[in-house]
Chains A and B, each alone.
Chain A
Amino acid sequence: MYTYNDFDEAFVLERVAQFRGQVERRIDGSLTEDEFKPLRLMNGLYLQLHAYMLRVAIPYGTLNSGQMRQLAFIADKWDKGYGHFTTRQNIQYNWPKLNDVPDMLEALADVGMHAIQTSGNTIRNVTADHFAGAAADEIADPRPIAELLRQWSTDHPEFQFLPRKFKIAVTGSPNDRAVTKAHDIGLRMVRNDAGEAGFEVVVGGGLGRTPMIGKVIRDFLPQEDLLAYCEAIVSVYNLLGRRDNKYKARIKITVHENGLETIREKVEARFAQIRDGFTGFDQQLLAQIEQHFAEPSYKSAKTDGYEAARLANPAFRSWTDTNLTAHKNDDYAIVSISIKKHGHTPGDASSDQMRAIADIAETFGHNEIRISHEQNVILPHVHKADLNLVYQALRKADLATANIGLVSDIIACPGMDYCALATARSIPIAQEIATRFEELKMEHEVGPLKIKISGCINACGHHHVGHIGILGLDRAGVENYQITLGGDGSEDATIGERAGPGFSADEIVPAIERLIKGYVAIRQDDEETFLQAYRRLGPAPFKDILYPEKAEKNAA
């Protein structure tokens, strides 16, 4: 895992000191509210519906036990004893006081963490595959690249006042778990025919009001050109991106309006200017960074106990069926800890739970923890012989929900409960769906299904790429929920299609229930997932299920 060197440490401390000064200068009037706003945003501080919210970066989703304990400490000392894991590998505190924030940032700096550029019109926290360094299907670990990009984008003088926010994601695996095609820049680590390491570069993806799948701007970018090329893209965007309309300011619109060819020409021309400025020293730094991400020293032990425990305990077996992923070391497994207990707020973890996770990771998980963009926590390296003990410990902390990838593993944005922009509630809808399917006891039968809920058109809940997406709108003061079908955030990224008229808050959960039961009735066999069935059959039968009256009328 990456640990801060003297430079990083001095940097974050200086940054905290600057922010402390900015808070004081806001209070004494040196900074107007307008001027203070982007400064607090680029330090992670939002103003929400009821209070400030501090968004802390978990760079590329990786942290250790000590850092997790510090997150718990911060939750207890300056917030209400819990934190919320987001869809972009951040943790949010919903109730900090402005005057406390510099102290919170200092507490983060103490463990090599920060909230820099988690908000505002800047290059945001770089995200990566949450199974990086552990997944069986991985070509290369994306985290060193993500760390290099973090250093490059941090406090970049040219890019602190961009037209709009700018998000970068990296994956090192053919199975794209980082939703790279829905990012401003998406990087897929590949090798060319000569075997050299590089990237396929995708630009202009994004969800929000105008969802777009990113387009390939460069098939193969040699690894050593990464920073210069990214700098070229953002530099072109900084001048060309629209500043007259917030909703047309993302690079996806710049690409759409100017055409990919024009953007490519400008980027290549700019790249040619910038390239010589990089002397190759960044590649030396990258080599140093890579050393931080060496594999853990795997232990060797017998795994028979694991199989025996699975046979003996159906609850454990069920948990291992849903919450484990293949590790590149056969004796190990990747454990996903569900932060989606039925009826609870998706992504919320109490400080006690954070400490329990830290302890378990320290004892059984080589001290490593990940946060996924699906708002769950991952223990990337657990020996199979320890899985039963890990499960028991998770049960004690109320963290053993066996629902990863199932109906109740829902992504939901904060919505009306916290967010000032919301047009509808999203958390309560997620809670009701999860509770309902827990009552029905059918989610294991239903199988893999991604439901994603956004509380407004800004789509922070990624509903466009949910197999079932739910978008909460406001229709003349009444909540109205639109359903989209067939979305997919994987390497086959697809934007879901709108199913038809929306549903009221009372109707939406029964509609989802109808939809899922209807799918189970028409699927080919138990193996055919919702998404596969949708792709095979097209939208019509699903619309008939959702709108039975209309289907009857058509049939009559």
Chain B
Amino acid sequence: MSVIVTDTGFAADDWKCGFRAVEGSPANDCPEGIDLASDTDPATLVGLTNAAMIRVDFPSFADGRGFTLATRLRQLGYKGRLRAKGHVIADQYAMARRSGFDEVEIDDDLAARQPEDQWLRRSNWQGHNYQARLRG
């Protein structure tokens, strides 16, 4: 099982349509989410801007590529749901949100080790944001 973290805390996953890799063929009945690896070639992002859900993998919390992938997707005009999945720690929640992610998907072990209150402490991610300030 996994836990979805948003600004309001922990919740169960409400995404019903599943996920597929970029290369996979789409199902007809349900708009599947797209799974992106952290080493995704940024050139492939252009074709994904109409997806309903994109999920970017974080194989390790030290792999910061997902933050750039999310930023690029948003700059390309992607308006759908954007999720960071895997080894993302509570201390990175604000970075994830500021990079354009809507939510973070973590496993039960991580949710037990870093319970909801530790994530909620960073739900103030809009405050103290130099980059937003510089962009006016």
Contacts and interface: CB of A to CB of B under 8 A. Distances in A.
Contact of A152 (B67, B68, B92, B134): B134
B121 A21 contact: yes
B64 A273 contact: no
Contact of B130 (A11, A35, A243): A11
Interface string A100-123: 000000000000000000000100
A157 to B, nearest CB: 4
B118 interface: yes
Interface residues of B, number: 36
Interface in B118-132: 118, 121, 127-131
A277 interface: yes
Interface in B61-118: 61-65, 67-69, 71-72, 75-76, 89-92, 94-99, 113-114, 118
Given A152-B134, A238-B68, A160 B118 contact: no
Contact of B61 (A29, A148, A161, A162): A161
Given A30-B114, A31-B89, A158 B135 contact: no
A222 to B, nearest CB: 17
A278 B65 contact: no
A274 interface: yes
Nearest to B69: A239
B42 A239 contact: yes
A239 B128 contact: no
Interface string A278-299: 1111101100000000000000
Contacts of B89: 31, 35
Nearest to A22: B91
B47 interface: no
A284 B89 CA distance: 35
Contacts of A159: 64, 67
B75 A273 contact: yes
Nearest to B115: A30
A284 B135 CA distance: 11
Contacts of A161: 61-64, 67, 92
Contacts of B61: 35, 161
B16 interface: no
Nearest to A29: B113
A282 B127 contact: no
Nearest to A243: B63
A10 interface: yes
A84 to B, nearest CB: 28
Contacts of B129: 155
Interface string A23-50: 0010001110001001100000000000
A235 B68 contact: yes
Contact of A157 (B65, B72, B95, B113): B95
A439 B132 CA distance: 58
A14 interface: yes
Q: Report whether over half of chain A's contact residues are helix, strand or loop; otherwise say mixed.
A: helix
A152 B62 contact: no
A38 B131 contact: no
A29 B113 CA distance: 7
Given A161-B62, A238-B65, A282 B130 contact: no
A18 B121 CA distance: 9
A162 B113 CA distance: 25
Contacts of B135: 277-279, 281-282
B91 A39 contact: yes
Contacts of B128: 7, 10-11, 14-15, 155
A517 interface: no
B130 A152 contact: yes
A30 B129 CA distance: 25
B24 interface: no
Interface string A436-476: 00000000000000000000000000000000000000000
Interface string A243-259: 10000000000000000
Given A160-B64, A279-B136, A281-B136, A151 B130 contact: yes
B123 to A, nearest CB: 13
A154 interface: yes
B95 A152 contact: no
A156 interface: yes
Contacts of A10: 128
Nearest to B134: A282
A278 B64 CA distance: 23
A128 to B, nearest CB: 19
A513 B68 CA distance: 52
A334 to B, nearest CB: 32
28 contacts: A7-B128, A10-B128, A21-B121, A22-B91, A31-B114, A121-B64, A148-B134, A151-B130, A152-B131, A155-B128, A155-B130, A157-B71, A157-B95, A157-B97, A157-B98, A157-B131, A158-B64, A158-B67, A158-B68, A160-B67, A160-B95, A161-B61, A161-B64, A161-B67, A235-B71, A239-B69, A278-B135, A282-B136
Interface of A: 7, 10-11, 14-15, 18, 21-22, 25, 29-31, 35, 38-39, 121, 148, 151-152, 154-162, 227, 235, 238-239, 243, 273-274, 277-282, 284-285
Q: Which 9 A-B pairs have the closest CB atoms?
A: A281-B136, A161-B64, A157-B98, A157-B95, A279-B136, A282-B134, A238-B68, A158-B67, A11-B128
Given A148-B134, A157-B131, A277-B75, 9 more contacts: A152-B134, A156-B131, A157-B97, A235-B68, A238-B64, A239-B65, A243-B63, A278-B135, A284-B136
